[in-house]
Amino acid sequence: MKYAHFEPSVEKFAEKRGLPKTKVTKLKKAVDQWLDSVRIDPWYPAGLVAAESMGEPATQATLRTFHFAGAAEVSVTSGVDRMLEIADALRKIKTPSMRIYLKEPYSKDEDKAREFALSIQETYLKDVAKISEDYFSREIRIDLDEGAIEDRGLDKDTIVSKVAAKVKKKVEPEGNTIVLTFGEDMPLMKLRKLRMSLEKLHLSGIRGIRFAVVGKDGDEYVVSTSGTNLKAILKHKAVDHTRTISNDIHEVAEVLGIEAARYVIIEELKKAYGDMEVDLRHFSLLADLLTYDGYYEAVGRTGVAGKKGSVFARAAFEETGKHLTEAAIWGEVEHLKGVVENLIVGLPVKVGTGRVKLVMKLGE
């Protein structure tokens, strides 16, 4: 077969259908022919077509994001908002989220999956208790909320011991109330600071994961989170680290490397476009462009467009004056290779028919 990498799938298909040998060769030929026909021409303006193909449906998409009422859902930015996040390589995305695949037995047992989800949710003391201070008697009062503690899958004793470790003092709870009394010499400022640090006392879970819910993917249980910490979650023994992924592309690039980030860009673009039909290859071209420098960068003047080799192309985009003066200072040379450059000068663009030179065979 001419396109060898298609051979296994064609053979698999033939085997499934039980096609005879002669038909298989015929099929291979037909597939080759079809692939020839869908191949783009030389000097095809793939970048522009990709840009228009992704840009046009985006103008039609609403800026609305869908939020699902109720607790057991992780809301994710979608539509134009998300497209912009990806293309502009925003460091702080609106809804960072992870999709955690689990190892057995967690993946098959709903209760175990729930338990896991609960255990990774970050919990601080302020989530399970009301903390108040009294400057007159120099006291800090912690009123534990039994219901909240149970909801978070914690127990009172560990909380008490953690508080004790924090304040470096013996702590004796009375019912659900812990009263920390300090002496006269305790400065009020220090009391206040202690209260504030107690509020942020980490009790359980993985930092960064604000919320985790269990969902189902086929026959296994999967945990979706709001907030991410890929590095920490991949270390967890219950997690299937081969499939677990975050939608924070910068994080993925840092933890798993740039190729993984490229993959996430494509997947996230697919999700952002939803049911608008855009060819996968446009996404992959954009993903390549965003990552080919070895790190994830935006398309704008700080990223891809700002790093173009041509002065005119950069000047035509944004900050015209800046690019022209800098080019003058460094003595840059414009080679007139791209589209905009040639348009500025008034020459045919070097794509399509503009690139082809006609050669005539004489004497035939």
Partner 1 sequence: MSDAKVYINGRLVGFHKDPLKLVDAIRARRRSGQLPYTVSVTYYDTTNEVYIYTDAGRVSRPVIVVKDGKPLLTEEHIKALEEGRIRWKDLVRQGIVEYLDPEEEENAYIAPDYEHVTKEHTHVEIHPAIIFGVGVASLPYSERNLSSRNLHGAKMLDQGLGLYAANFRLRTDTMSYILYYPQKPIVRSRVADYMNYDRRPSGQNIVVAVTPDLYAMDDALVMNLDSVQRGLLRAVFFRTYTAVERRYPGGQRDRFERPTEDVSGYLGEEYYHAIGDDGLPIPETYVKGGDVLVGRTSPPRFLEEVTQFGIIEENRTESSITVRMDEEGYVDNVLITDDPNGSRMVKVKLRQEKIPELGDKFAARGGQKGVVGMFVPQEDMPYTAQGIVPDLIFNAHSFLSRMTVSYLLEILAGKAGALRGRRVDGTPWHEEPIEDLEAYLKSKGFRPSGKEILYDGLTGEEIKARIFIGPTYYQRLKHLVSQKIQARARGPIQILTRQPTEGKAREGGIRFGEMERDTLIGHGAAMTLYERLVEESDKTTILICEECGNVAVDDAIRRERYCPVCGSRKVQEVEVSYAFKLLLDELKALGIYPKVVLRDKA
Sites of contact with partner 1 (CB under 8 A): 41, 43-45, 48-49, 52, 324-325, 328, 333, 339, 343-355, 357
For partner 1, give the closer residue by CB, 171 or 305.
305
257's torsion region: left (phi>0), alpha (psi -120 to 50) or beta?
A: left
For partner 1, give the closer residue by CB, 55 or 187.
55
Shortest spacing between CB 332 and partner 1, in angstroms: 11
The angle formed by the CA atoms of residues 89, 92 and 96, to the nearest 5 degrees, is 100
Report the C-alpha gap between 191 and 201 in whole angstroms: 15
Shortest spacing between CB 50 and partner 1, in angstroms: 10
For partner 1, give the closer residue by CB, 298 or 340.
340
Shortest spacing between CB 62 and partner 1, in angstroms: 20
For partner 1, give the closer residue by CB, 167 or 324.
324
Shortest spacing between CB 354 and partner 1, in angstroms: 3
**One-letter identity of residue 327:** A
Shortest spacing between CB 335 and partner 1, in angstroms: 9
Of 232, 199, 235, 179, which Cα lies nearest the Cα of 123? 199
For partner 1, give the closer residue by CB, 197 or 325.
325
Q: Where are the beta strands (DSSP E) in the chain?
A: 97-101, 123-124, 129-134, 139-144, 177-181, 202-204, 211-217, 220-226, 245-246
Report the C-alpha gap between 65 and 80 in whole angstroms: 9
Alpha-carbon distances, residue 255 vs 224, 227, 235, 284 (angstroms): 19, 16, 12, 21
Query: Is residue 94 a contact partner of residue 81, using CB atoms and an 8 Å limit?
Result: yes
